[in-house]
Structure 1
Amino acid sequence: MKYKSINFKNYSSFKIGDTFDVALFEKGDTQYKNFYLIGSCNNTLIGHNPPPLMMLSKDFDYIKIENNQLKIGGATPSGKIASFCKKHNIANFEFVSHLPGKLGGLVYMNAGLKEYEIFNQLINITTPNGSKQKDEIEFGYRYTNISEPILEATFKLEYGFDENKVSMFKKMRSNQPSTPSAGSCFKNPQGDYAGRLIEAVGLKGKRIGDMAFSEEHANFLVNYGEGKFEDAISLIKEAQKLVKKEFAINLECEIIILDQEYLGKKIL
């Protein structure tokens, strides 16, 4: 198996992390069960002791129209998908340009903006164990039960790229900070907003070292330069503790924390 050395301080959108060797999953490979699959790490906080990591190789970076369906490889960047759909007048993917990441990650977390979600157009996915139809997958708000690498996804093909939707999605994202972050820190609890709750307990702008809850949008945990993993965890725990105490609401992380101590566990 081939490996690639990645400095996560440069690679991840959070700009936090050490250098680790990451296994490359190539066409024909079958071994993946002892690894944690990563994409472009746009919603990922890497700790000092992550599990063994793996990423899809360039073999899975492609887009094609086949049998009147749209087929996209799991390693295809969202920007490439958005450009392809605009060029070919394909509808229903306008929101993707505002969701940094790769196709596999977008499908894995059912990424989206409000009611516009990647699963809306999904037909099936291809994994190392074969094809899975949409109705075989459990999914919801920023959630799926997919536990295998997503090598390819097939979508309904409809035409009519809508520039008005592009403008709408751009406006929806206009209040989000440009400072390095991993996007929304917490999922919005049902009937409320994580940003409102964080602001209500006085943590908007709260800073530890170079990590802080953004002044622009309280649900964005941002790195002002030399942010450390420990400081990010401290802020996450403080927000969860205060919101639980004040509102009896458990804030669930939307960012993925890759560290052996926290993997698969709730932070609190």
Structure 2
Amino acid sequence: MKKQSINFSKFSSIKIGDSYEVSILEDCSAVYKDAYLIGSCNNILIGTNPPPLIKLSKKYDYIKIEDNTLKIGAATPSGKIASFCKKHDIANFEFLSHLPGTLGGLVFMNAGLKEYEIFNNLLWVTTCEGIFLKDEIEYGYRFTNIKSPILEATFKIEKGFNIEMVELFKKMRQNQPSTPSAGSCFKNPKNDYAGRLIEAVGLKGLRVGAMEFSKEHANFLVNHGGGTFDDAIYLIQEAQKRVLNEFKIKLECEIAILDTRYMLS
């Protein structure tokens, strides 16, 4: 399996991490068990002891219409998908205009904005362990039980790309900071919001080193430049501890923490 050295302080959206060797997955004949598939690193916080890492080959970056379905390779960026759907007047993918990531990661975590989720129009997923119909997959809010690298996803096609929806999604994200982050730090608990809870326990705007729970949106852990993994972990654990003590709610990480010492949830 080919390898590539990746500097995560430049590659990851939160701008934290050293340079590590990442194996490039060309096909499923190579060993991928126990390795973490990193995608475009938009929701990843990598530590100093990461697990084995893999990344899909660029051959999985494609979009095609076939048998009246939309087939998308798992390495395809969200912006490319949104542009393709706009060009071909395909509906229900407008939210991807303002949601970073590649298709595999978006499917793996059932990404979305509010009720608009990637699984809404999914038909089946092709993985290294075979094809799984939507009904064969357990999924929910920012969750799936997919255990094998995703190679491709197939979606139903509905006509009518809605530019007004693109503007709506843009407004929905206007309160999110532009400072480097890994997106939402925690999943929203049922009937509540992680940002509200973090603010309620006095952590909004708390800064340790260069890391801070953003003053713009408390559920965004931002890096003001030179932030470290240890400072990020301190803030994450502090939020979980305070919210649990105050509200008896366990905050579950939405970002993936890649360090064998922690592997937080």
Aligned to 2:144: 144
Aligned to 1:156: 156
Q: TM-score, normalised by structure 1?
A: 0.97
What percent of counterpart residues are identical? Answer: 71
C-alpha distance in 2, partners of 1:141/1:262? Answer: 23
Aligned to 2:197: 197
Pairing 1:35–2:28 present: no
Structure 2 residue matching 1:174: 3-state secondary structure: coil
Pairing 1:181–2:181 present: yes
Structure 2 residue matching 1:151: 3-state secondary structure: strand
Aligned to 1:226: 226
Aligned to 1:243: 243
TM-superposed deviation, 1:212: 0.3
Q: TM-score, normalised by structure 2?
A: 0.98
CA contact (8 A) 1:30 1:128 kept: no
C-alpha distance in 1, partners of 2:226/2:29? Answer: 37
TM-superposed deviation, 1:28: 5.5
TM-superposed deviation, 1:35: 1.3
C-alpha distance in 1, partners of 2:136/2:58? Answer: 28
Pairing 1:85–2:91 present: no
Aligned to 1:216: 216
Residues 134-190 of structure 1 show CA distances to partners (whole Å, capped at 9, x for unaligned) of 000000000000000100000001110001100100000000000000000000000
TM-superposed deviation, 1:130: 1.6
Aligned to 1:52: 52
Aligned-residue Cα RMSD (Å) equals 0.8
C-alpha distance in 2, partners of 1:28/1:229? Answer: 32
In the comparison of the two structures, how many residue pairs are matched?
265
TM-superposed deviation, 1:27: 3.3
Runs of 5+ consecutive residues of structure 1 not aligned to the other structure? none
Runs of 5+ consecutive residues of structure 2 not aligned to the other structure? none
Structure 1 residue matching 2:85: 3-state secondary structure: helix
TM-superposed deviation, 1:256: 0.3
Shifted more, 23-32 versus 97-106: the winner is 23-32
Runs of 4+ deviating beyond 6 Å: none
Residues 82-137 of structure 1 show CA distances to partners (whole Å, capped at 9, x for unaligned) of 11111111100000111101000000000000100000000000012221100000
The amino acid of 1:88's aligned partner reads: H
The amino acid of 2:122's aligned partner reads: L
C-alpha distance in 2, partners of 1:74/1:93? Answer: 15
